[in-house]
C-alpha cells in the first residue's frame, strides 16, 4: 500500500448534497437493465391530503438514460418506514440516516473527482455543446470513472456507518447485478433500486433490515472493486486519500474502510510485562494475537489457518488467582491495539453464567448468538468463556440444568462440528479453575492447553510484589533485576524443555514403561507406541487428542513471533496481498523435530491426566463423605431405637 497525503472531504460539501440525497431516498423512476425485478417497485400511494416528498430526477447534460423495461417508482424511505407499525424504529432511522449520509458523501466525492480529473470542465463544455470530437471518448471514460467512484464511495460509507448497528444475524444477498456505469446519478439509482428490491424480499424485521443494508453494501463494494480493475481514468481516486472527520471515515481508493461492529470495547488492558509467570501461556497468547492479525479480509482466510498452525480454541486452566483474567486482558489489549493501528474491526465477547436462562431453548440461543458474533468474517474476533465448568454442563450430570446442557451442545457443534469453518479471523478461549468438571468431549475440543499456574519461582514473586505495590513507595528492590526472569524467550525455552519428560505421576509410569520396552522415542513408530500406551492407561485419550497434539506441533513449527514492526507499520505485512503474506510466513517456518513432538505429547497428556486425577479424587472424596454421613446416620438411628 502506497503512502498517501490525506485530504479533508469538507463537511459543508457533504451537507450541500443532503437535499439531493434525501430526494433519491424519497423517490425516483428507474427501469432495470441488468437485474430482474423481484417485487413491484412502486409503493402504494398515500391517502389524499398526506404530503409526499419531491421525487428525484437526475439530469446529466448530453447523457440519455437507456431503458429496456417500463420504469417503476422507487421510494426507499417509504419501503423502510413501511416495515414498522407507523412509528419509525431506531433501526429504521439508523438505516435511513446512514443511507442519506452515505449518498451525500458519495455525491461530494463525485464532485471532488470531477474537479480534479477535468470532468467538471468537460461537463460545462457539453452543456454548451462545445466538446471537441477528440475529447468525446475521454468524456465518456471519465463519466464511467466517476460512476465507479461514486458507487464505491456510497457502498463504502454505508457499510462503515451502519456497522455499529449490525447484530449477529447474517443475511445472504448474493451478487449485486444492477451496476450501471453510464454516469454517477444512473449508477446510484441502479444501486438504490436493487437495495429496495432486497429490503422488500429479505427484511422481515428491523434486525434483518440492518443486516440487509450492511450485506448489500459489502456485496456492492466487492462488485465495484472488480469492475474498477479494468476501469480507465480512476487514478485520481486510487492515488488519493480523503478523510471525513465527522465520521472518522477514510476514503482511500477502492479499499473498504473498516468499522468495528457492535460498539467500543471497554476493558482494563494489561501489558505483557504485567503478566508474571505463566510463561508458555503468555507467549502463546502473544503469538496468537499476531496470528489473528494475518487474516486477509478480501480472501477471508488466514495464512496460518491454511498452513495448519492456527489455534482456533484453547483451554486455560489453573488454580484461583493464578492470572487467567490478566491473561485475557493482555490478549484483548494486544488485539485492540493492533486493530486500531491497522484500521481493522475488533470484537471481544465473553459468555458467562448470566446468559444461562430458565426458559427452554433461550440459553442455546444466547450461546449461538455469542458464537455468531465472534466468528463473523468481517471482524477480528476474540471470544472467552470464563468458568466454563459452571456455564457448560456435563452430559449425564443430573446437577446440570437444561440451559447448561443446551450450551454444551452448541459449543461442541461450533468448535468441532460438521459445519465448523476455521477462517483464522477469531479464536475462543475456555477458562476454568476446575477443568475436570468440564464435559470430556467439550474439553477435548480445545486444540491448545494453556496451563495458567501463576508465579512459581522466587524471582516471579519478587516481580509480582514490585508490580502490585506500584510506585508510591521508596522501598529498595535489593539484589534483584526486576522482570529479568520474565524475559519471554528464555523462560519459554525452559518451559518447553521441562516437558521432555512428563510431570503427572500416572503419565510418568507410562513413560518409564515405554522407555524401558522400546528405548528412546526417535521414530514415528515409537512415538505411536507411546500414544497407544497412553490410551491404554486412559481411554479418554482418543484420536481427537492426537489431532490436538499434531496441531500444537504445527504451531511449534511456527515458533516465531511476527515482528513488532509488522504490527506497527501495516504496510510491511498486514496490507500486503494474501499470497505475499503466505510466502512471508512460510519463510519463517522451521522443521518439525522429535523433541517438539515428545514435548507436545507430554504437555497435552499431562493436562488430561491432571484433569482425570482431580476428577477421580473429587469423586472419591465425595463418596467418602457420603459413606461417613451414612455411618453417622446409622449410629444415631440405632441410638434412637435403643
Between these two residues, 290 and 624, which has the higher pLDDT value?
A: 290
Strands (E), 185-320: 241-244, 249-251, 313-317
Is the pLDDT assigned to residue 1 strictly greater than 70? no
Task: Give whole-number Cα distances, 472 to 468, 469, 582, in Å.
Answer: 11, 8, 48
User: Where residue 71 falls among pLDDT bands split at 50, 70, 90?
Assistant: low
Tell me the average pLDDT across 444-473. 81
Give the pLDDT score at 263: 45
Q: How far does Cα 336 stand from its chain's mean position?
A: 12
**Distant-in-sequence, close-in-space partners of 240: CB < 8 Å, separation ≥ 6:** 4, 5, 7, 116, 253
Give the pLDDT score at 206: 84
Give the pLDDT score at 41: 58
Residue 581: half-sphere exposure toward Cβ, Cα within 13 Å: 29
Cell of 308: 495448519
Give me the phi and psi of 313, to 5 degrees please.
-135, 145
Give the pLDDT score at 235: 86
Q: How far apart are CA 435 and CA 52, in angstroms?
A: 64
* Pairing relationship of beta strands 313-317 and 426-432 according to DSSP bridges: parallel
Is the pLDDT assigned to residue 309 strictly greater than 50? yes
Tell me the average pLDDT across 496-506. 79
Which one-letter DSSP state was computed for residue 249? Answer: E
Q: What are the domain boundaries of the chain?
A: 8-44+70-251, 278-454+501-620, 459-497
Q: Is 500 exposed, middle or buried (0-12, 13-18, 19+ CB in 10 A)?
A: exposed
Is the pLDDT assigned to residue 415 strictly greater than 80? yes
- For all residues of the chain together, what is the average pLDDT? 82
Is the pLDDT assigned to residue 15 strictly greater than 90? yes
Q: Are 300 and 256 in contact (CB under 8 A)?
A: no
Is the pLDDT assigned to residue 549 strictly greater than 50? yes
Give the pLDDT score at 73: 80
Is the pLDDT assigned to residue 618 strictly greater than 80? no
Count CB atoms within 10 A of the CB of residue 234. 23
**Which range, of 245-259, 271-285, 313-327, averages the lowest pLDDT?**
271-285
Is the pLDDT assigned to residue 105 strictly greater than 70? yes
C-alpha dihedral (316, 319, 324, 327), degrees to nearest 10: -90
Alpha helices in 308-456 (DSSP H): 324-342, 362-375, 388-391, 402-416, 440-443
Residues linked to residue 428 through DSSP beta bridges, in sequence order? 313, 383
Tell me the average pLDDT across 342-361. 85
Q: Are 246 and 11 in contact (CB under 8 A)?
A: yes
What percent of the chain stands above pLDDT 70? Answer: 87
Is the pLDDT assigned to residue 19 strictly greater than 60? yes
Q: How far does Cα 324 stand from its chain's mean position?
A: 22
**Topology of 278-454+501-620 in CATH?**
Rossmann fold (3.40.50)
Entry field: residues in the chain: 642
Cell of 180: 450501471
Give the pLDDT score at 580: 92
**Distant-in-sequence, close-in-space partners of 17: CB < 8 Å, separation ≥ 6:** 103, 104, 105, 107, 108
Tell me the average pLDDT across 173-177. 85
Tell me the average pLDDT across 45-55. 41
Q: How far apart are CA 32 and CA 72, in angstroms?
A: 9
Give the pLDDT score at 567: 86
Task: Give whole-number Cα distances, 320 to 316, 578, 616, in Å.
Answer: 12, 42, 20
Cell of 479: 539484589
Give me the phi and psi of 404, to 5 degrees please.
-65, -40
Give the pLDDT score at 56: 43
Cell of 542: 482418543
Q: Are 299 and 423 in contact (CB under 8 A)?
A: no
Cell of 583: 510466502
Q: How far apart are CA 445 and CA 311, in angstroms?
A: 11
Tell me the average pLDDT across 201-222. 88
List strands edge to edge, sheet with 313-317. Answer: 346-351, 380-386, 426-432, 313-317, 448-451
pTM: 0.56
Q: How far apart are CA 362 and CA 365, in angstroms?
A: 5
Q: How far apart are CA 378 and CA 171, in angstroms?
A: 13
Between these two residues, 303 and 489, which has the higher pLDDT value?
A: 303
Give the pLDDT score at 614: 56
User: Where residue 484 falls among pLDDT bands split at 50, 70, 90?
Assistant: low
Rg of the chain's alpha carbons, rounded to an integer? 31
User: Where residue 406 falls among pLDDT bands split at 50, 70, 90?
Assistant: very high
**Which range, of 229-233, 270-274, 391-395, 626-630, averages the lowest pLDDT?**
270-274
**Which range, of 50-64, 89-103, 186-200, averages the lowest pLDDT?**
50-64
Tell me the average pLDDT across 610-620. 63
Give the pLDDT score at 20: 93
User: Where residue 64 falls among pLDDT bands split at 50, 70, 90?
Assistant: very low
Strands (E), 138-188: none
What percent of the chain stands above pLDDT 90? Answer: 23
Tell me the average pLDDT across 507-528. 91
Give the pLDDT score at 96: 93
Q: How far apart are CA 105 and CA 134, in angstroms?
A: 32
For the chain, the farthest-separated pair of C-alpha atoms sits apart, in whole angstroms, at 123
C-alpha dihedral (457, 460, 466, 468), degrees to nearest 10: -120
Which one-letter DSSP state was computed for residue 348? Answer: E
pLDDT digits 0-9 by tens, 117-144: 888 888 888 888 887 888 888 888 889 9
Between these two residues, 47 and 522, which has the higher pLDDT value?
A: 522
Which one-letter DSSP state was computed for residue 503? Answer: -
Amino acid at each position: 500500500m502506497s503512502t498517501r497525503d490525506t485530504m479533508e472531504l469538507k463537511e459543508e460539501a457533504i451537507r450541500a448534497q443532503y437535499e439531493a440525497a434525501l430526494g433519491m431516498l424519497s423517490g425516483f423512476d428507474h427501469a432495470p437493465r441488468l437485474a430482474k425485478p423481484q417485487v413491484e417497485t412502486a409503493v402504494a400511494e398515500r391517502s389524499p391530503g398526506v404530503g409526499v416528498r419531491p421525487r428525484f430526477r437526475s439530469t446529466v447534460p448530453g447523457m440519455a438514460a437507456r431503458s429496456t423495461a417500463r420504469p417503476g417508482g422507487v421510494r426507499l424511505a417509504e419501503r423502510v418506514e413501511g416495515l414498522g407499525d407507523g412509528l419509525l424504529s431506531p433501526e429504521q432511522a439508523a438505516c435511513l440516516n446512514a443511507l442519506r449520509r452515505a449518498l451525500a458523501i458519495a455525491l461530494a466525492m463525485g464532485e471532488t473527482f470531477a474537479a480534479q480529473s477535468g470532468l467538471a470542465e468537460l461537463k460545462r463544455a457539453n452543456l454548451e455543446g462545445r466538446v471537441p470530437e477528440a475529447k468525446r471518448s475521454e468524456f465518456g471514460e471519465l463519466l464511467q470513472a466517476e460512476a465507479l467512484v461514486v458507487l464505491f464511495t456510497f457502498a463504502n460509507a454505508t457499510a462503515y456507518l451502519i456497522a455499529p448497528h449490525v447484530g449477529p444475524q447474517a443475511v445472504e444477498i448474493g451478487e449485486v447485478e444492477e451496476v450501471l456505469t453510464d454516469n454517477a446519478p444512473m449508477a446510484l439509482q441502479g444501486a438504490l433500486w436493487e437495495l429496495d428490491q432486497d429490503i422488500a424480499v429479505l427484511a422481515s424485521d428491523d434486525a434483518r433490515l440492518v443486516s440487509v443494508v450492511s450485506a448489500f453494501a459489502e456485496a456492492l463494494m466487492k462488485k465495484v472493486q472488480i469492475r474498477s480493475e479494468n476501469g480507465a481514468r480512476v487514478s485520481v481516486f486510487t492515488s488519493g486519500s480523503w478523510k471525513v472527520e465527522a465520521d472518522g471515515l477514510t476514503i482511500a481508493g477502492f479499499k473498504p474502510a473498516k468499522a468495528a461492529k457492535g460498539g467500543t470495547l471497554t476493558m482494563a488492558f494489561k501489558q505483557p510485562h504485567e503478566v508474571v509467570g505463566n510463561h508458555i501461556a503468555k507467549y502463546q497468547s502473544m503469538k496468537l494475537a499476531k496470528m489473528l492479525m494475518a487474516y486477509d479480509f478480501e480472501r477471508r482466510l488466514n495464512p496460518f489457518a491454511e498452513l495448519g498452525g492456527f489455534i482456533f480454541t484453547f483451554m486455560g486452566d489453573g488454580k484461583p488467582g493464578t492470572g487467567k483474567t490478566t491473561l485475557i486482558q493482555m490478549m484483548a489489549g494486544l488485539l485492540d491495539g493492533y486493530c486500531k493501528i491497522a484500521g481493522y474491526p475488533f470484537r471481544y465477547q465473553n459468555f458467562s453464567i448470566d446468559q444461562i436462562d430458565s426458559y427452554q431453548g433461550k440459553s442455546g440461543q444466547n450461546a449461538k448468538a455469542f458464537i455468531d458474533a465472534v466468528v463473523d468474517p468481517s471482524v477480528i474476533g476474540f471470544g472467552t468463556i470464563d468458568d466454563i465448568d459452571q456455564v457448560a454442563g456435563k452430559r449425564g450430570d443430573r446437577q446440570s440444568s437444561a440451559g447448561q446442557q443446551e450450551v454444551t451442545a452448541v459449543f461442541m457443534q461450533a468448535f468441532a462440528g460438521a459445519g465448523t469453518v476455521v477462517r483464522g479471523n477469531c479464536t475462543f478461549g475456555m477458562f476454568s479453575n476446575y477443568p475436570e468438571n468440564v464435559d470430556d468431549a467439550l474439553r477435548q475440543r480445545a486444540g491448545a492447553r494453556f496451563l495458567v499456574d501463576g508465579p512459581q519461582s522466587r524471582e516471579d514473586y519478587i516481580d509480582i510484589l514490585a508490580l502490585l505495590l506500584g510506585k508510591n513507595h521508596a522501598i529498595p528492590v535489593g539484589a534483584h533485576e526486576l522482570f529479568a526472569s520474565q524475559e519471554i524467550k528464555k523462560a519459554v525455552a525452559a518451559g518447553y524443555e521441562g516437558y521432555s519428560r512428563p510431570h503427572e505421576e500416572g503419565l510418568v509410569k507410562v513413560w518409564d514403561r515405554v522407555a524401558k520396552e522400546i528405548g528412546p522415542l526417535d521414530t514415528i513408530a515409537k512415538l505411536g507406541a507411546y500414544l497407544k500406551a497412553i490410551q491404554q492407561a486412559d481411554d479418554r485419550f482418543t484420536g481427537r487428542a492426537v489431532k490436538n497434539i499434531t496441531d500444537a506441533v504445527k504451531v511449534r513449527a511456527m515458533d516465531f513471533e511476527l515482528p513488532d514492526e509488522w504490527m506497527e507499520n501495516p504496510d510491511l505485512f498486514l496490507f500486503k496481498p494474501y499470497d505475499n503474506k503466505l510466502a512471508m510466513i512460510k519463510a519463517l517456518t522451521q522443521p518439525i523435530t522429535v523433541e517438539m513432538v515428545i514435548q507436545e505429547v507430554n504437555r497435552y497428556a499431562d493436562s488430561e491426566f491432571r484433569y482425570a486425577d482431580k476428577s477421580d479424587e473429587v469423586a472419591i472424596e465425595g463418596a467418602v463423605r457420603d459413606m461417613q454421613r451414612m455411618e453417622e446416620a446409622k449410629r444415631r438411628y440405632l441410638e434412637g431405637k435403643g
